[in-house]
Chain A
Amino acid sequence: MTSSASPSAGTATLERVGNAERLVASGDWTLAFAKALSDRIAVLKRTLAAGTRIDVSAIGRIDTAGARLLLDLAEPASIDGLGVERRALLDAVAGAQIVVPAAEKRDAGLVEVFARTGEAVEKIARDSYGLLGFIGLILATLARLALHPRRWRVTSLVFHLEQTGLDAVPIVVLLNFLVGAVVAFLGATVLKDFGASVFAVDLIGYSFLREFGVLLTAILIAGRSGSAFTAQIGSMKAGEEIDALRTLGLDPIEVLVLPRVLALLIALPALTFLAMLAGIVGGAVVCVLSLDISPTMFISRLHDLGLTRHFWVGMSKAPLFAFLISAIGCLEGFKVSGSAESVGTHTTSSVVQSIFVAILVDALAAIFYMKIHL
């Protein structure tokens, strides 16, 4: 309030005037010295006789913290030496009620562990149920719309195709090329000891056509496009745009979800095809450069393997992954509530769920195809 030249720590000392004791406060009673002051006051409070007058005319600066501490010592009425300004400050502080909320008790015991586990399991069950419901909603809307070509949103579809498909080509191709090279190296290292380096070609062919091409692409797209879907729809939800759509008589599933789902249904298989090629090329480059397998030999070996059915096994999973990733991405977007923080939480959740589901479904598919001898 009133500025004094240099700050000095606030104190309070007892003085004896005749028979009566008087407490003299001096120095700066500000937040900076609040810790020392509160310790001092705790001591004084125990010894101070009721009705002791307090003289504060020697105080340099005082703020709300200082005023509060002063009031801990005495009633406003027994404080002397206040100017008009300081009296107003003290009255304001005295008038404010302080209710410190009771600290919440947290149970850190075994019960809490079980309770949390139960909550998590329940949440997974609820989320799965919600996802199934949402998938049903998408399929129903899709079926309804299939009969009305006029209401297909072609512009939106093309836009999302570009975003999720074309724009993802470089990263998908590069990543698969590199993993292809790594797999070739690994294979060659192990097989060389058996003098069977040429089987590295089989390894690359099988792994990329059957598993890696589609799985790597799905994981990349889950991180790249699934998260984008959640963020886009989520920020629309946070900005009440979804509500605006509804009031305008538009179906958010039809306008926002279907174009994204359909775009990914086209983009992911196409990207998977490129991923398979890139992986095989990556493997081929390593074979040619360091394993003494000529390009002709690589291609004829690949050809002899008869990999067509493996190609179709791999490709058959792409639309499934695409549908799941886009459904999870969009659903998480709709779950956003209000704040920007919520958008972030659900985007993370969307990516984690999509990648988890992609790997889970891939594992189930592997068992399924093995059992039916494909």
Chain B
Amino acid sequence: MNAREKVIEVRGLRNQFGDQVVHDNLDLDVYRGEILGVVGGSGSGKSVLLRSIIGLNRPNGGKIALLGQDMIDVSDARRAEIERRCGVLFQNGALFSSLSVEDNVMVPMREHFDLPFALMQRLAALKLNLTGLPAEAGAKYPAQLSGGMVKRAAMARAIALDPDILFLDEPTAGLDPIGAAAFDQLILTLRESLGLTVFMITHDLDTLYTICDRVAVISQKRVLVADTLARVERFDDPWVQDYFQGPRGRSAEHVAELAADRSEHTSKSIAAVATATTGTH
């Protein structure tokens, strides 16, 4: 595993707000092509970690490297170049409310590249279709969309420039089980077809069991463990044990097994997960 290319490398990260230390000596690696799920209790600093990595929050100490480029001491131009290769899906979508969905997806293309309008429009429509939105959604404004559609539209904007790394902040929060399962499949599909690396904060155990290659647990101000789910589950820590062995963790695991059994019927599996999940919530 060490031979694989590290696209995100965090070393000795320290974040502090006033007297409150959020991260202390935090290390984390994310490898190319994987889907990493980040879990942790509320207030454990998952979002702060995400914001530190994408450069929205300047850490108090430590090193962060994205795609091999150190992001702490870096020129603004170089930083912008790297950031262009990252896509971010914010928890509530963060779509620009004064622009239509189509224009939202076109914003990054318009800003960074000189493209003919017709081509941008076709690419925007392509991205919207890839994220599973109906064609007529492009002309709508964010306020006219349902929660699930907002997430999909935000996803389309996040992949507008074909990023290498996709950051997702609780992608399935606030979605119904069917919508959440479909969104999981969407992430998986995009990873397969576009070769994305996905860094995902999630509370959704179903998501962890169905699509994550590795899981990183943030606790006690650092990454406690980052490994495959099977190993993380057996990790000897009371919080980890509670998290995965609690009633919700158990049923999510069960569902994931069910889904895996039926994985040969890929097309049906979304429905299977969805129906099965309905019972767990």
Let me know if A99 and B126 touch, CB within 8 A: no
Of the residues A64, A89, A101, A339, contact of B123 by C-beta under 8 Å: A64
Chain B residues contacting A338 (CB-CB under 8 Å) are 143
Chain B residues contacting A91 (CB-CB under 8 Å) are 193
Q: A88-B192, A339-B97, A339-B143 are in contact. Are A35 and B123 (CB under 8 A)?
A: no
Is B109 an interface residue when CB atoms closer than 8 A count as contact? yes
Report how far A98 CA is from B194 CA in the complex, Å. 18
Is A96 an interface residue when CB atoms closer than 8 A count as contact? yes
Chain A residues contacting B112 (CB-CB under 8 Å) are 31
Is B19 an interface residue when CB atoms closer than 8 A count as contact? no
Of the residues A31, A32, A100, contact of B121 by C-beta under 8 Å: A100
Chain A residues contacting B161 (CB-CB under 8 Å) are 31
Closest to A71 in B: B126
Let me know if B113 and A92 touch, CB within 8 A: no
The 8 A CB mask of A47-67 against B (1 = contact, 0 = none) is 000000000000000011100
B46 to A: closest C-beta gap in Å: 25
B274 to A: closest C-beta gap in Å: 22
Report how far A93 CA is from B192 CA in the complex, Å. 12
Let me know if A31 and B115 touch, CB within 8 A: yes
The 8 A CB mask of B102-145 against A (1 = contact, 0 = none) is 10000001001111101101110111011000011011000100
Chain B residues contacting A93 (CB-CB under 8 Å) are 126, 130, 193
Closest to A340 in B: B97
Is B98 an interface residue when CB atoms closer than 8 A count as contact? yes
Of the residues A31, A35, A89, A100, contact of B116 by C-beta under 8 Å: A35
Chain B residues contacting A96 (CB-CB under 8 Å) are 126, 129-130
Let me know if B127 and A64 touch, CB within 8 A: yes
Let me know if B130 and A34 touch, CB within 8 A: no
Q: A35-B114, A92-B130 are in contact. Are A98 and B119 (CB under 8 A)?
A: no
The 8 A CB mask of A129-151 against B (1 = contact, 0 = none) is 00000000000000000000000
Is B189 an interface residue when CB atoms closer than 8 A count as contact? yes
Size range of the interface on B? Answer: 20 to 34
A336 to B: closest C-beta gap in Å: 12
Is A8 an interface residue when CB atoms closer than 8 A count as contact? no
Let me know if B193 and A38 touch, CB within 8 A: no
Chain A residues contacting B192 (CB-CB under 8 Å) are 88, 92
Report how far A85 CA is from B192 CA in the complex, Å. 8
Closest to A97 in B: B129
Chain A residues contacting B195 (CB-CB under 8 Å) are 1, 85, 89
Is B162 an interface residue when CB atoms closer than 8 A count as contact? yes
Size range of the interface on A? Answer: 20 to 34
Closest to A1 in B: B195
Of the residues B114, B116, B138, contact of A101 by C-beta under 8 Å: B138
Of the residues B98, B113, B194, contact of A34 by C-beta under 8 Å: B113
Is A301 an interface residue when CB atoms closer than 8 A count as contact? no
Chain B residues contacting A92 (CB-CB under 8 Å) are 130, 189, 192-194
Report how far A31 CA is from B115 CA in the complex, Å. 8
Report how far A89 CA is from B195 CA in the complex, Å. 8
Closest to B193 in A: A92
Chain A residues contacting B123 (CB-CB under 8 Å) are 31, 64-65, 68
* Residue among B109, B125, B159 with max Cβ neighbours from chain A (10 Å): B125
Of the residues B113, B118, B126, contact of A68 by C-beta under 8 Å: B126
Report how far A104 CA is from B110 CA in the complex, Å. 20
Let me know if A97 and B135 touch, CB within 8 A: yes
Is A304 an interface residue when CB atoms closer than 8 A count as contact? no
Report how far A68 CA is from B162 CA in the complex, Å. 13
The 8 A CB mask of A16-35 against B (1 = contact, 0 = none) is 00000000000000111011
Report how far A32 CA is from B189 CA in the complex, Å. 24
The 8 A CB mask of A77-108 against B (1 = contact, 0 = none) is 00000000100110111001111110000000
Is A341 an interface residue when CB atoms closer than 8 A count as contact? yes
Report how far A214 CA is from B189 CA in the complex, Å. 67
B164 to A: closest C-beta gap in Å: 8
Report how far A63 CA is from B113 CA in the complex, Å. 14
Chain B residues contacting A31 (CB-CB under 8 Å) are 109, 112-113, 115, 123, 161-162
Report how far A237 CA is from B143 CA in the complex, Å. 15
B90 to A: closest C-beta gap in Å: 15
B78 to A: closest C-beta gap in Å: 15
Q: A64-B194, A89-B193, A91-B193 are in contact. Are A35 and B136 (CB under 8 A)?
A: no
Closest to B112 in A: A31
The 8 A CB mask of B190-203 against A (1 = contact, 0 = none) is 00111100000000
A-B pairs, 5 with minimum CB distance: A92-B193, A99-B135, A63-B162, A96-B129, A98-B125
